[in-house]
Amino acid sequence: MRIFGLIGYPLGHSFSQKYFTEKFSRENINDCFYNNFPLSHIGLLPYLIRSNPDLCGLNVTIPHKTAVLNYIDVKDPAIDEIGAANVLKIRRKGNDITVYGFNSDVTGIRDSIIPHININIKNVLILGTGGSSKAVAYTMKNLGLNVTLVSRTGKGNILSYSDLTTKLIRNSDIIVNTTPLGMYPEISARPDINYNLLEEKHILFDLVYNPEYTAFLKEGKERGCTIVTGLRMLYSQAERSWEIWNDPDL
């Protein structure tokens, strides 16, 4: 039996176990099992891998996407530039264990936003500076878009929420929430921006997928914005994870 799973903390919000369990059943994949592994500290990862000899691959979620880099032996070339990983592939040879790191968020983000990109889309405002934010910034820059990052405190080239002027919000074509604000069970939470400045031209993309329609997206929908939920990204990055785990050349 090959075991796959998800590490992060907490994991009550995650759909990954349900997604892969249903996939295995639907596609008659009978030799695989997917489990949640709540890790309060990323330092527990080596023990988790050693104590589960059938563990072949892991997805990585909040808050470990950046810290997990310290536990990866072989990195996909994009990982260093992104600064975060969300897929681990585990290979064993005798007592030797090698952990490979990848980022499938990039695939999910690209697949989610590409249908909405046109020549008029130029500026992206990214709310949050965690591991998912790094993947969003990497993807948007590779699409030729200008990126502005926002965090609660701001530092250097990163703005704080109090720095968000009317002009900046109105000139942002895409606004992406990469924070956990709005995630179940705190479904009324949302990033602290002036939603009254939103217009029909804006595209709001939320990486939170539970609930599918977050308070952030609802604010945009009420004002006629195009909204992009996190579910498309979830499905796309999950399938990319499966490809990575099963590709002998990766």
**Positive or negative, the Cα torsion across 134, 111, 164, 63?**
negative
The pTM for the full model equals: 0.89
* Known catalytic residue at 65: yes
Do 51 and 35 touch, CB atoms closer than 8 A? no
Which whole number is the average pLDDT over 217-230?
98
pLDDT average, residue stretch 18-36: 96
Domain formed by 2-103, architecture:
3-Layer(aba) Sandwich (3.40)
Query: Which residue out of 18, 23, 65, 122 is catalytically annotated?
Result: 65
Domain ranges of the chain: 2-103, 106-232
- Residues 6+ away with beta carbon under 8 Å from 37: 5, 6, 7, 11, 48, 58
| Bridge-based pairing state of the strands 74-75 and 32-38 | unpaired
State pLDDT tens for residues 88-127.
999 999 999 999 999 999 999 999 999 999 999 999 999 9
Does the pLDDT value for residue 131 go beyond 90?
no
With 90 as the cut, is the pLDDT of residue 231 above it?
yes
Report the candidate in 234, 243, 198 with the shortest Cα–Cα distance to residue 217: 198
- Overall residue count recorded for the chain in this entry: 250
pLDDT in tens, 170-203: 999 999 999 999 998 899 999 999 999 999 999 9
Instruction: Please give the class, per CATH, of domain 106-232.
Output: alpha beta
Beta bridge partners of 174: 124, 203
Q: What is the pLDDT of residues 2-25, one digit of tens each?
A: 999 999 998 876 789 999 999 999
